[in-house]
Amino acid sequence: MPHFSHLIEQWQSTLNWLPNPDQLAQFEKLYELVLEGNSKQNLTRITAPDDFWEKHLWDSLRGVFAFWDRENIKLIDIGTGAGFPGLPIAIAKPSWQVTLVDSKQKKVAFVQQTIQDLQLPNAIAQAGRVEELNQTSGYKKKYDLAVVRAVGKPDICASYCLPFLKRSGTAILYRGQWLPEESEQIDLFCEQQGLQVVKQDRFQTPLTEGIRHSVYLSPRSTSISNS
Ligand SMILES: C[S@@+](CC[C@H](N)C(=O)[O-])C[C@H]1O[C@@H](n2cnc3c(N)ncnc32)[C@H](O)[C@@H]1O
C-alpha cells in the first residue's frame, strides 16, 4: 500500500519538484526497510508515515535545496545513522555521488543493505569515525558538499565537515532551532578557520510547521545559488 502518494502535491509546492514513479517507489521501499530494520536495531523513533515523510524524506531534501539544480555533486553525509539525509538525497539526485558515514558498524550494515535493496549505484556507505576519515587521502578535500544532521554542537559538526571539502565546497548543518549563542559560536569558529557563514536559512516543515534551519558554511568568497 502506498504511504506517501497523498503527499505528492507537497513535494511540488514546497520544493518545486516531483519524484518520478521509480523514485516514489524507492521512498516507499526505504520506509518499509527502515521499519523492518527498526525491529532489529534502534534506527529511528519516527515511524508514522506522515512523520517519516516530513522529518526524514522532506527534511533531508530541503537541506540541499539550494543546490538542487546542480548535477554531478560529490556529497558526504556525516553521522548518517539509518541513512539520513544521505539516502533520500541519493534517490532524488541520481547524478550525485553520495557517501554515507557512521561510526556504528551495525547502522552502516543496514545502510549498505538498503543501498543494495534500493539499487542505488550512486551511494556508498562507509564505517568509521569522521574525524579520522577526513584526514585520509581518499576523503580529504574530495567533496562539494558535506551534510550533517543531529550529530552534535554546531562547531563540532563544522569541524567534522571542513576537511572533507574542496576549496569550492560547502558544509550544510541541518539544525532545528538555531539559538543566538549557536550563531555566535559558529561565527567565532569560522573566523578562526578562514570560513564564512554563507547563509542561515530558516523555514518551517510543511505538515507540522516545525522550525528548521540550514546553515551553510564555505571557505571565504564562495557563493550558493537559489538564495
Ligand atoms: C542522532 S544520530 C543522527 C542520524 C542521522 N544523521 C539523522 O539525522 O537521522 C547521530 C549519528 O552520528 C553518529 N556519529 C556520532 N559521532 C560520530 C563520529 N565522530 N563519526 C562518525 N559517526 C558519528 C552516531 O553513530 C549516530 O548514528
Mutate to test the pocket of ligand 1, among 31, 34, 100, 103 (most ligand atoms within 8 A of CB): 103
Q: How many domains would you assign to the chain? A: 1
Which ligand 1 atom sits nearest the alpha carbon of residue 130? 20
Q: Which domain holds residue 144?
A: 5-218
The answer to the question of residue 226 being in a domain is no
Residue with cell 542505488: 120
The answer to the question of residue 223 being in a domain is no
CB-side neighbour CA atoms (13 Å) of 22:
8
Pocket, ligand 1, Cβ cutoff 6 A? 79-81, 84, 101-104, 107, 129-131, 149-151
The answer to the question of residue 91 being in a domain is yes
**Whole-number pLDDT of residue 226:** 54
Q: Report the CATH number at residue 163.
A: 3.40.50.150
* Three-state SS letters, the chain: CCCCHHHHHHHHHHHCCCCCHHHHHHHHHHHHHHHHHHCCCCCCCCCCHHHHHHHHHHHHHHCCHHHCCCCCCEEEEECCCCCCCHHHHHHHCCCCEEEEEECCHHHHHHHHHHHHHHCCCCEEEEECCHHHHCCCCCCCCCEEEEEEECCCCHHHHHHHHHHHEEEEEEEEEEECCCCHHHHHHHHHHHHHHCEEEEEEEEEECCCCCCEEEEEEEEECCCCCCCC
Share of the chain above pLDDT 70, in %: 96
The answer to the question of residue 227 being in a domain is no
Instruction: Report how far ligand 1's centroid is from the alpha carbon of 105 (Å).
Output: 11
The answer to the question of residue 53 being in a domain is yes
The answer to the question of residue 134 being in a domain is yes
Instruction: Report how far ligand 1's centroid is from the alpha carbon of 77 (Å).
Output: 10
Q: Whose CA is closest to atom 6 on ligand 1?
A: 80
**Among 125, 36, 62, 145, which Cα is nearest to 28's?**
36
**Whole-number pLDDT of residue 225:** 57
Contacts of 96 (CB under 8 A, 6+ apart): 71, 72, 73, 74, 75, 89, 90, 122
Across 49-53, average pLDDT: 97
Q: How confident is the model at residue 227 (pLDDT cuts 50, 70, 90)?
A: very low
The answer to the question of residue 224 being in a domain is no
Across 186-192, average pLDDT: 93
Instruction: Report how far ligand 1's centroid is from the alpha carbon of 9 (Å).
Output: 31
- Burial (CB count <10 Å: 0-12, 13-18, 19+), residue 193: middle
**Whole-number pLDDT of residue 220:** 78
Query: At residue 73, does pLDDT exceed 90?
Result: yes
CA geometry: angle 125, 127, 131, nearest 5 deg: 115
The answer to the question of residue 205 being in a domain is yes
Instruction: Give residue 184's identity as a one-letter amino acid code.
Output: E
Q: Report how far residue 99's alpha carbon sits from residue 17's, in angstroms, rounded to the nearest whole number.
A: 23
**Whole-number pLDDT of residue 222:** 55
Contacts of 223 (CB under 8 A, 6+ apart): 198
> Does a cis peptide bond (omega within 30 degrees of 0) precede residue 85?
yes
**Whole-number pLDDT of residue 224:** 65
Round the average pLDDT of the chain to a whole number and report it: 95
Q: Report how far residue 187's alpha carbon sits from residue 17's, in angstroms, rounded to the nearest whole number.
A: 33
Q: What is the pTM of this model?
A: 0.96
Query: At residue 198, does pLDDT exceed 70?
Result: yes
Instruction: Report how far ligand 1's centroid is from the alpha carbon of 185 (Å).
Output: 21
Instruction: Report how far ligand 1's centroid is from the alpha carbon of 172 (Å).
Output: 15
- 101-156 pLDDT, tens digit per residue, is 999 999 999 999 999 999 999 999 999 999 999 999 999 999 999 999 999 999 99
**Whole-number pLDDT of residue 21:** 94
Mutate to test the pocket of ligand 1, among 38, 102, 159, 214 (most ligand atoms within 8 A of CB): 102
In this prediction the ipTM stands at: 0.99
Across 21-39, average pLDDT: 97
